[in-house]
Structure 1
Amino acid sequence: MSTEATVVLEDLWARYGGGEWVLKEVNLTVNKGESVLVVGATGSGKTTLARILNGTAEPIYGVEAKGSYKINGVEALGLDPFSLGLKIHVVSQNPYIHFLNFILEEDYRDYARKVYGERFEKQVVEKTLTRLNLRELRHRYFFNLSGGQARRAATGKALISDPEVLVFDEPFMWLDDKGVDEFLDMLHLLKRLGKTIIVFEHRFNRVIRFFDKVFVLRNGRIEEADLTALLRAAARKTLGTTLIQQPDKGELGEVVLKLENVSFGYKEPVLINISLELRRGEGVAIIGLNGTGKTTLLKLITGYLKPWKGRVEVRGRFIYIPQLIHLFYTEGSLREEVVKLCKSHSGNEACVEEALKALWKEGLNPDKPPSKVSHGQMVKAAVLLASKTVKPDLILLDEPFSGLTYVDRFNLIKLLAETPSAKLLTTSSREFTSLLSNWRLLVLENGGLKPAGALEKPLNAVFSVELAKLLIGVED
């Protein structure tokens, strides 16, 4: 591998709007052809660093940056995003924002024409579609692509300008297990093409051994991890971990949800003769790849959709926590959310006091706007607000693990185990479902529900948590 430096950051600082410095004295060198993983706790500055790398930090997000950032020896701070994108291209955690034209091939052609002119436009697009196996998607609307397909298509668009460096910001966001496998295949392809690769990701267990180096972003600074030592330490800590326990099924209460032979579809059937019964205190997790109908099932339960046939019965109060977690919140602060929810339920001060106390206990400042806390904190706060204010008989959670760090996932499972309501959650990955002790685990595929087959061993998930704690510096 080359020792020629491609990306060099020296004494780099960054902050938003004159606030606290998010990045402090960041020094990082990535050599030509290297693959580098950067991990860090939520809010550690990974996305800020990605924005600096692609040149959008200052003009779009108002980031003040100082220090030095060089690409192949050329100072890059201050370069416009388009010029910088020809050298280093960042694929966002939301791949859909990379498309301007509705049709994938037309979007590619517009970009290729901008980079090369009309003469080489078609040739470059055809080569890109073939290289990343995108020919079957060429006439598709980008917003109809699955998460994995959109990630692959956004990477293909990045490759049109043939940048030397490709950066991925949280690439596993919204990906199911199949999508993760496809992304890994794509990383190997990029490696064979000689690309320099930088990945910011907290769901690292499946990919960590792919990388040449692992760096940790902590307290605004970055340092290389001694991965061998950390793997050994995580293994030792895993052996002493007590697994989370959901209450025994003997403690369950009355039925709060009943589905009887429910079928539904859009143009074609999606759900066929679904039957399910859920009791107070019970937990059910439905596992399924993207597009199998998990969100549709939850919308039927909430009443947003009506079944083609069959019966949906919810007995008591329920609360729905969507995958797009920001849609759960309507007020300017978590405190205002508490007051609104308590008023809708009981209206007494004891409700407000209990909920605020729970938020503080979990390290959540009630006076912060929901938009100013991390994705994981928003999910945690939503569960707390539901259980401490509305006290629902049933909590519905759509992909609650998506976008959460391993530590946040572990803490969320623990929080759900302490919640007396019935819980029904959906997830597109089997990862961590082994920690849902005493939950019923079902698979949704081909329109029907069936018991889940073999899962990862619980200690594998615990190992991921312990390694994440060691990497990002989380204390027990």
Structure 2
Amino acid sequence: MTNLISIKNLSFRPTPYPVEKPDILQSINLEIEDGAFIAIIGRNGSGKTTFLKHINGLLAPTGGKVEVAGLDTSKLENLPELRSLVGMVFQNPADQIVASTVEEDIAFGLENLNLPSKEIQERVYEQLEKADLLDEAKRPPHLLSGGQVQRLALAGVLARQPKIILFDEPTSMLDPLTRDAFLDRICKLHRAGMTILYITHHMEEAILADKIVVIDQGRIFLSGEPEEIFNQEKLLHEIGLDIPEAAKYSQSFRDLGFSIPDNVYTSEALLAVLPEYQGEKQYNKLKSPNGRSRKILIDMENVHYTYLAGSPLAKKALQGADLKVHQGVIQGLAGTNGSGKSTLLQHINGILRPSEGKVRVGSFAVDDPDTSLQEIVKNVGLVFQNPETQFFESFVGDEIAFGPKQFEMDNIRDRVKNAMTLVGLDFEEYKGRRLETLSGGEKRKVALASTLILDQEILLFDEPTAGMDPKSRNELLALFKELQRQGKTILIASHRLDESAEITQAFTIMKSGRVVRTEATHDLLFNNQLIRDAGLSVPLIIQIVQRLRQNGWPIEECECLGIDHLINAMKEWV
């Protein structure tokens, strides 16, 4: 195969930029063949997105050279042809939606190519059909779910028939079924000959690629086939990355003395080789952990809400939702894109008021329009799904200080420093950074710090780990547990049941604007039918426990919501 993309000694330094800081990209050399599928992984702020933007000419090198199909990306006269060759799906796909309806947005790029009207209509219809958006063709994009917006962004790119597509963490906001469908479509594009460059923080997605490029501090740290990269676990851990979940669990079983093959990277492969129990098959009575009764802090009854009520574009978001959250717990909230999770959270802190039903949070009747929003916000913090939507300032330090200034708090500098330390942002390095220069994961950390600084009793998080690298995700989950120890009540909306399994005490499942069920985490996560009916995926650790029990292991389900708990339970029977 011939090289389609050639990168030689690429370096990049924005203007203006502090003299003492190193280049964002440094001496990158890479050759990419036509039809390749390249996964790009690295810590938040390592330079991944900056690297990708050099391939379609959104950024020009300050040193070195990038050529795509022989075109120098730094030359302005090459940009029109370059943009027809290279499409890009951004980290936040809503950023690239420009038209007032779905079909107009797909047509926008084609109109700029001056294609005949008939051909534009044919391409638009084809992409609407492939993206399952025919019924949404006349709707405004901002009324679509996160998964639909992602499909729309890809449809707009594919309509232009590029040779190369760049993806910047495209599945970070997608529910499991939508994510699987999206990945399946990307793999089909690759099999059809499309060249794919794909940034991800999910190692399970990186396995799909032909080759993985690891970027750290603006340089290529490792490069090779997935098996070659993931065999270097120690090196990956040194730069804050990880290996696929199935590979980690495989190693835990090997450490326990079981013969698990090397290079087990997928859940299917691991489940197929789990050990049979060789001892006496004896089960203790299945029990659930006991917990003391706590008072109800959040109480929602029969809550209804419709966006654009009374208009032709009206969309019911909540349809009789009921929710109870007890004081001092961490509770998970899961559902597919468009199930109503974000709308529900925004009713708890008063941003939205129900059209019908009751919402009581602590001593506040949130459904009462006379209840002060400011008083609610003093007690209830919300970190949005897209952190940019809650920014008010231009610089990191000012943004985190914004809330305390509104509430006339004292010692603001110390509060900002402490909040930044909590989320892993160095005060001196980041306080003066402009928000637009941050990576997606770094912006999310700023949004978290901006909420934590207010020290509210109730904390609501909407997809808090989306766009975070493995180390940052683990640190955030540990922070949630520490906040609970401090007495906070936490509600976390997330598609990833596996992340929430070990830190939550209760879980709520939503579907079509309704709460389907709220149960103790250990009971709900082992209910495969309920989870699948809600369009979600059963966490791998749960699948492992269930398969081991099928293999005769006398282990208790409720004791095994994490790999460490599972291994300890198995040690009793080895």
What range describes the TM-score normalised by the shorter chain of this pair?
Answer: 0.7 to 0.9
1:239 partnered with 2:252 = yes
Match of 2:266 in 1: none
Match of 2:161 in 1: 162
Residue 435 of structure 1 is aligned with which of 477, 485, 502?
502
Residue 456 of structure 1 is aligned with which of 529, 534, 539?
539
Q: Describe the superposition over 1:209-260 as per-residue Cα deviations: whole angstroms up to 9, x where unpaired.
A: 321111111121124145325545444686399xxxxxx9857865432223
1:336–1:280: structure 2 CA closer, same or farther, 3 Å change rule? farther
1:150–1:263: structure 2 CA closer, same or farther, 3 Å change rule? closer
Residue 42 of structure 1 is aligned with which of 41, 44, 65?
44
Alignment check: 8 A CA contact 2:425 2:445 kept: no
Using the alignment, how far apart are the partners of 1:69 and 1:151 within structure 2?
28
SS in 2 for 1:210: coil
Residue 446 of structure 1 is aligned with which of 512, 526, 537?
512
Residue 89 of structure 1 deviates from its aligned partner by: 1.8
Using the alignment, how far apart are the partners of 2:88 and 2:164 within structure 1?
9
Match of 2:493 in 1: 426
Residue 458 of structure 1 deviates from its aligned partner by: 4.4
Match of 1:68 in 2: 65
Match of 2:109 in 1: 111
**More moved, 212-221 vs 144-153:** 144-153
Match of 2:376 in 1: none
The letter for the 1-side match of 2:54 is I
Using the alignment, how far apart are the partners of 2:400 and 2:131 within structure 1?
48
1:85 partnered with 2:80 = no
TM-score, reference length from structure 2: 0.69
Q: Describe the superposition over 1:135-157 as per-residue Cα deviations: whole angstroms up to 9, x where unpaired.
A: 44443433333333333333233
Match of 2:558 in 1: none
Residue 456 of structure 1 deviates from its aligned partner by: 0.9
Using the alignment, how far apart are the partners of 2:225 and 2:187 within structure 1?
23
1:249–1:373: structure 2 CA closer, same or farther, 3 Å change rule? farther
Q: How does 1:184-195 map to 2 (within 5 A)?
A: 184-195=183-194
The letter for the 1-side match of 2:441 is G
The letter for the 2-side match of 1:442 is T
Considering fraction of residues, name the structure with more strand. 1
The letter for the 2-side match of 1:441 is F
1:52–1:297: structure 2 CA closer, same or farther, 3 Å change rule? same
**More moved, 269-278 vs 195-204:** 269-278
TM-score, reference length from structure 1: 0.82
Match of 1:296 in 2: 343
The letter for the 1-side match of 2:479 is L
SS in 1 for 2:182: helix
1:250–1:381: structure 2 CA closer, same or farther, 3 Å change rule? farther
Q: How does 1:380-395 map to 2 (within 5 A)?
A: 380-384=445-449, 386-387=451-452, 389-395=453-459
The letter for the 2-side match of 1:264 is Y
Using the alignment, how far apart are the partners of 2:358 and 2:173 within structure 1?
30
Q: Describe the superposition over 1:88-135 as per-residue Cα deviations: whole angstroms up to 9, x where unpaired.
A: 222222333444432333444453344353274444444544555554
Q: Describe the superposition over 1:46-81 as per-residue Cα deviations: whole angstroms up to 9, x where unpaired.
A: 1112211111214xxxxx532121122333322454
Match of 1:466 in 2: none
The letter for the 2-side match of 1:295 is S
Residue 324 of structure 1 deviates from its aligned partner by: 2.5
Match of 2:152 in 1: 153
Using the alignment, how far apart are the partners of 2:402 and 2:90 within structure 1?
35
Q: How does 1:273-312 map to 2 (within 5 A)?
A: 273-312=320-359
Residue 269 of structure 1 deviates from its aligned partner by: 4.7
Using the alignment, how far apart are the partners of 2:203 and 2:349 within structure 1?
34
Alignment check: 8 A CA contact 1:252 1:282 kept: no
Query: For the pair shown, which has the larger CA radius of gyration, 1 or 2?
Result: 2
Using the alignment, how far apart are the partners of 2:295 and 2:413 within structure 1?
27
Alignment check: 8 A CA contact 1:13 1:66 kept: yes
Using the alignment, how far apart are the partners of 1:331 and 1:249 within structure 2?
46
Match of 1:259 in 2: 300
Match of 1:244 in 2: none
Residue 405 of structure 1 is aligned with which of 465, 469, 475?
469
CA RMSD of superposed structures (Å): 3.3
Residue 12 of structure 1 deviates from its aligned partner by: 0.9
Q: Describe the superposition over 1:336-395 as per-residue Cα deviations: whole angstroms up to 9, x where unpaired.
A: 56666556668454x8646624534634316334715444344445445544x4332211
Using the alignment, how far apart are the partners of 2:6 and 2:393 within structure 1?
42
Residue 178 of structure 1 deviates from its aligned partner by: 2.6
1:9–1:252: structure 2 CA closer, same or farther, 3 Å change rule? farther
1:30–1:252: structure 2 CA closer, same or farther, 3 Å change rule? farther
1:35–1:226: structure 2 CA closer, same or farther, 3 Å change rule? closer
Residue 300 of structure 1 deviates from its aligned partner by: 1.5
Indicate the structure whose relative CO is greater, using CA pairs within 8 Å and at least 6 residues apart: 1
1:46–1:249: structure 2 CA closer, same or farther, 3 Å change rule? farther
SS in 2 for 1:153: helix
SS in 2 for 1:21: coil
**More moved, 248-257 vs 412-421:** 248-257
The letter for the 2-side match of 1:11 is N
Alignment check: 8 A CA contact 1:102 1:142 kept: yes
Alignment check: 8 A CA contact 1:170 1:199 kept: yes
Using the alignment, how far apart are the partners of 1:105 and 1:338 within structure 2?
39
Match of 2:534 in 1: none
1:296–1:67: structure 2 CA closer, same or farther, 3 Å change rule? same
Residue 10 of structure 1 deviates from its aligned partner by: 0.9
Using the alignment, how far apart are the partners of 2:36 and 2:14 within structure 1?
30
1:322 partnered with 2:384 = yes
Using the alignment, how far apart are the partners of 1:81 and 1:446 within structure 2?
44
Q: How does 1:364-383 map to 2 (within 5 A)?
A: 364-365=426-427, 367-369=431-433, 371=435, 372-383=437-448
Residue 444 of structure 1 deviates from its aligned partner by: 0.6
SS in 1 for 2:62: strand
Q: Describe the superposition over 1:423-470 as per-residue Cα deviations: whole angstroms up to 9, x where unpaired.
A: 01212343523233x42111111333214444313499989xxxxxxx
Using the alignment, how far apart are the partners of 1:204 and 1:291 within structure 2?
26
Using the alignment, how far apart are the partners of 2:327 and 2:413 within structure 1?
24
1:202 partnered with 2:201 = yes
1:386–1:168: structure 2 CA closer, same or farther, 3 Å change rule? closer
